[in-house]
Amino acid sequence: MSEADVADRLAATGLAFQNWHEKDRNYIPVGLTALSIHFPDVPGRMYSSVANDDPDILEKANVGWYRTARDGNLFESADPRFLVGAKPTTDARVWQWAVVRLTEPWDIMGAGGRTGTLGVAWCRPGFAMLSLDGEVIVRGDTWENEIGTVRVRTPRHREFLDFARTIADDPSEPPAFRTEIKTWLQTFE
Stretch 88-97: mean pLDDT, rounded?
76
Does a structural domain hold residue 19?
A: yes
Residue 81 has pLDDT above 90, yes or no: yes
Give the number of domains in the chain.
1
Residue 47: per-residue pLDDT: 86
Residue 41: per-residue pLDDT: 58
Residue 43: per-residue pLDDT: 64
Per the structure, the complete domain to which residue 33 belongs is given by 3-154
Stretch 79-108: mean pLDDT, rounded?
89
Does a structural domain hold residue 168?
A: no
Does a structural domain hold residue 183?
A: no
Does a structural domain hold residue 80?
A: yes
- Mean predicted lDDT score pLDDT of the chain: 89
Residue 107: per-residue pLDDT: 97
Does a structural domain hold residue 187?
A: no
Residue 8: CA atoms inside 13 Å, Cβ hemisphere, count?
5
- Nearest CA to 123 among 63, 164, 37, 81? 63
In terms of pLDDT, which residue wins out, 158 or 16?
16
Does a structural domain hold residue 189?
A: no
Residue 144 has pLDDT above 90, yes or no: yes
Does a structural domain hold residue 44?
A: yes
| Strand arrangement, sheet containing 136-142 | 15-20, 96-102, 81-86, 127-130, 136-142, 146-153, 46-51
Distance CA 124, CA 114 (A): 8
Does a structural domain hold residue 120?
A: yes
Stretch 62-78: mean pLDDT, rounded?
93
Taking the complete model, does pTM exceed 0.85, yes or no?
yes
Residue 1: per-residue pLDDT: 62
